[in-house]
A and B are shown apart, each in its own frame.
Chain A
Amino acid sequence: MSQSRPRGILAALVLAIGVAACGAKPGPAPVAPRPVAEEKVVNVLNWSDYIAPETVAQFEAETGIKVNYDVFDSNEVLETKLLTGRTGYDVVVPTDYFLERQSKVGVLLPLDKSKLPNFKNLDPAVMQALAGVDPGNRYGVPYAGIITGIGYNVEKVRKALGDVPVDSWSIVFDPKYASKLKDCGLTMLDGEAEVFTSAKIALGRDSSSEDHEVLDEAEAMLAKVRPYVRYFHSSQYINDLANGETCVAISWSGDVLQSRDRAREAGKAVQIAFAVPKEGALQGWDMLAIPTDAPHPDNAHKFINFLMRPDIAASFTTFRKFPSGNLAAEKLVPEELRADPLIYPPADVIARLTPHRAESLVYARYANRAWTRVRTGR
């Protein structure tokens, strides 16, 4: 779920124009008679910086299908596009708790498993977990697994907090600690679902609760540490942690690992670590899916199948440090990554991970309002 603001805004502007243009005639797009053979094109919309550099070229060379590759930076924007319809995209990558809602509305095409022979490579345990949001695994296959936890600069945190271990959400949600992190830089993801869910877990509440009182409690807790937060952004911290601008971030696992690598590459003596708090943490899966009105569904299946090939899935994990949920790929991942507990967590960590469920519209409205209050500090 790597993000970059620039593209988001560009996409938003383009989308705004698109929405204005399409608004006159809402409703599902008429189903065009499908040509016998699809033109050799597939339109992919993926998270920014979220594929190994050689993958697209390799797919084009092997299949002769041209890939038009676009990027997005937020689940909400993707969902708005899908709900508006006629995106023109063949492959999209919503996170599982968004896919759940989208599949119910009918904006996603049920996958044709006969066209996905590489489906057998997927980890049955992951697929079983995902069946909770996508019964029967009908609409999506996993592309990347993400844990929302605490990324931090070991040295700076020791300086600020002394010997307090970073193993609990209280580091970021308790004013006692957060106030001491203000100067070295505390940041949070700009995501209502991620931060509120983490806050609910920290409070020991049911993370999927849509109870307004539980949310109010989470909001009150966040409001207390709000003065110590430098910014809310979902990708800026990758650089800032690496070069020492900030010291603690509520962040995504693979992004923090990337930050760690960047610091190493730059030859800096910065030690970056990622903690899965003992209270528990949110786990999400970014899923490969096909919009209902995709112009090239056959090619979309070919592309998804290609991404599930063990060597390709392994190259993604090697490049981006996110697990792929692909059991056959695991053996092809370099030794040191396979041993990394943040990519392949041990059983006791897995036990602490909680999936998130799609939010109802009524709750989403309430939660987004609360999120705006937290973010703006009002």
Chain B
Amino acid sequence: MKPAAASRLGRWGVIALPYLWLTIFFLVPFLIVLKISFSNVQLSMPPVEPVLTWGQDHVMQLRLHFSNFAFVFGDRLYIEAFLDSLLIAAVSTVIALLIGYPMAYGIARAPGAWRNVLFLLVVLPFFTSFLLRVYAWMGLLGRAGPVNGLLLKLGLIHEPLQLLQTEFAVYLGMVYSYLPFMVLPLYSAIEKLDLTLLEAAADLGCRPTKAFFTVTLPLTREGIFAGCLLVFIPAVGEYVIPALLGGPDTLMIGRVVWDEFFGNRDWPVASALAIVLLVLLSGFVLLLQYVQSREREA
């Protein structure tokens, strides 16, 4: 084989691998979900009507039920669940940004040896299962848990507070769980920042706060975008945190999809919800990308 051909093959291989991955683990499952979303419930195994059937005389029948989507948009409950999910995810993202930015800044500006230690500490929680960490919060926030115990001992409260099964617990769990996803891209953006720019700003008489807002913040914008996306997107569809830490009135779309799939055994509606969520989030990502590319051109 000529070297040129070999390198072309290698290049194709490198490109094909991620596409193959995406096809198998994203596109195929997505198409299955899409297919089920156009189906109808029936009591059978599996509990959905087949969309494609071979009839007599080799006629292929394709039956698409759009009623599931009509159902999803026609019910106040689903719309509220979508809106609540977006709100909870957005608030969590903002809180994570407000905490994550100073953290990332501190790590990026820490002396060399410290930096590695601090960086490791951010990643450390990943060594334990996500589910276990959320569980740990259940123990901590319970009425007989250490948080209430401490507050009682300090005399700040006289009755244990209901911390678990509240909105507060959901936000806490969300911010806690997704904070590393915010810190890591911010860290890499802040670390890359050219410090001489800040020196130049100082030399020209700019005060540190102003320098931060006019130099540091705009130049780390990409990190902020990336961090916010990495937190916001999984947070919208989050199921475990609201189920374990949230109260009965916490209505998030992840839980609703679970209820439709398992509680209701209504796979078509669950699939339709998942498709709507995916379209919504894809639209959001595309919008952000568009904004970002516009800014880059400017």
| CB-contacts of B39-53 with A (<8 A) | 41-48, 50
| CB-contacts of B10-41 with A (<8 A) | 28-29, 32, 36, 41
Q: Which of B46, B248, B263 meets A231, CB within 8 Å?
A: B248
Contact across chains for B251 and A376 when beta carbons are under 8 A apart: yes
A72 to B50, CA, bound (A): 29
What's the minimum C-beta distance from A46 to chain B, rounded to whole angstroms?
Answer: 18
Cβ of A220 under 8 Å from chain B: no
Q: A9-B244, A245-B143, A361-B43 are in contact. Are A373 and B77 (CB under 8 A)?
A: yes
What's the minimum C-beta distance from B143 to chain A, rounded to whole angstroms?
Answer: 6
Contact across chains for B45 and A83 when beta carbons are under 8 A apart: yes
Q: Which of B41, B42, B256 meets A365, CB within 8 Å?
A: B41
Of A18-26, A199-207, A261-269, the stretch lying at the interface with chain B is A18-26
Q: Which residues of A contact B264 (CB under 8 A)?
A: 76, 364-365, 368
Cβ of B118 under 8 Å from chain A: no
Q: Which residue of A is nearest B32, CB measured?
A: A23
Cβ of B57 under 8 Å from chain A: no
Contact across chains for A361 and B41 when beta carbons are under 8 A apart: yes
Q: Which residue of A is nearest B42, CB measured?
A: A361
Q: A1-16, CB under 8 A of B: which get 1 and which 0?
A: 0000110011011000
What's the minimum C-beta distance from A355 to chain B, rounded to whole angstroms?
Answer: 20
Contact across chains for B32 and A24 when beta carbons are under 8 A apart: yes
What's the minimum C-beta distance from B5 to chain A, rounded to whole angstroms?
Answer: 35
Cβ of B177 under 8 Å from chain A: no
A84 to B32, CA, bound (A): 14
Q: Which residues of B contact A369 (CB under 8 A)?
A: 75, 77
Contact across chains for A9 and B243 when beta carbons are under 8 A apart: yes
A-B Cβ contacts below 8 A, count? 94
Contact across chains for A372 and B262 when beta carbons are under 8 A apart: no
Q: A23-B32, A231-B248, A378-B80 are in contact. Are A12 and B45 (CB under 8 A)?
A: no
Contact across chains for B43 and A105 when beta carbons are under 8 A apart: yes
Contact across chains for A80 and B28 when beta carbons are under 8 A apart: no
Q: Which of B29, B77, B243, B244 meets A372, CB within 8 Å?
A: B77
Q: Which residues of B contact A6 (CB under 8 A)?
A: 135
Q: Which residues of B contact A229 (CB under 8 A)?
A: 248
Contact across chains for A368 and B80 when beta carbons are under 8 A apart: no
Q: Which of B42, B250, B262 meets A77, CB within 8 Å?
A: B262
Contact across chains for A231 and B165 when beta carbons are under 8 A apart: yes
Q: Which residue of A is nearest B76, CB measured?
A: A378
What's the minimum C-beta distance from A80 to chain B, rounded to whole angstroms?
Answer: 5
What's the minimum C-beta distance from A374 to chain B, rounded to whole angstroms?
Answer: 9
Cβ of B225 under 8 Å from chain A: no
Q: A346-378, CB under 8 A of B: which get 1 and which 0?
A: 000000000000000100110011011101111
Interface size class of A (residues with CB under 8 A): 35 or more
Q: Which residues of A contact B42 (CB under 8 A)?
A: 361
Q: Which residues of B contact A79 (CB under 8 A)?
A: 265
Contact across chains for A106 and B45 when beta carbons are under 8 A apart: yes
| CB-contacts of B240-259 with A (<8 A) | 240, 243-244, 247-251, 256, 258-259
Q: Which residues of A contact B259 (CB under 8 A)?
A: 368, 372
Q: Which of A24, A77, A192, A231 meets B28, CB within 8 Å?
A: A24
A83, A101, A107 — which one has the most chain B CB atoms within 10 A of its CB?
A83
Contact across chains for B265 and A76 when beta carbons are under 8 A apart: yes
Cβ of A104 under 8 Å from chain B: yes
Q: Which of A23, A82, A101, A376 meets B29, CB within 8 Å?
A: A23
What's the minimum C-beta distance from B100 to chain A, rounded to whole angstroms?
Answer: 27
A77 to B262, CA, bound (A): 5
Q: A10-B131, A20-B29, A231-B248 are in contact. Are A104 and B43 (CB under 8 A)?
A: yes
Cβ of A85 under 8 Å from chain B: yes
A-B pairs with beta carbons under 8 Å apart, 21 shown: A9-B240, A13-B131, A20-B29, A24-B32, A26-B50, A27-B45, A28-B45, A74-B262, A76-B265, A80-B47, A80-B262, A80-B265, A84-B45, A105-B45, A361-B41, A361-B43, A361-B265, A365-B41, A372-B259, A376-B77, A377-B248
B: residues with CB less than 8 A from A are 28-29, 32, 36, 41-48, 50, 75-77, 80, 131, 135, 143, 165, 240, 243-244, 247-251, 256, 258-259, 261-266
Going nearest first, the 7 A-B pairs with the smallest beta carbon separation are: A368-B264, A23-B32, A83-B47, A26-B46, A377-B249, A376-B251, A76-B263
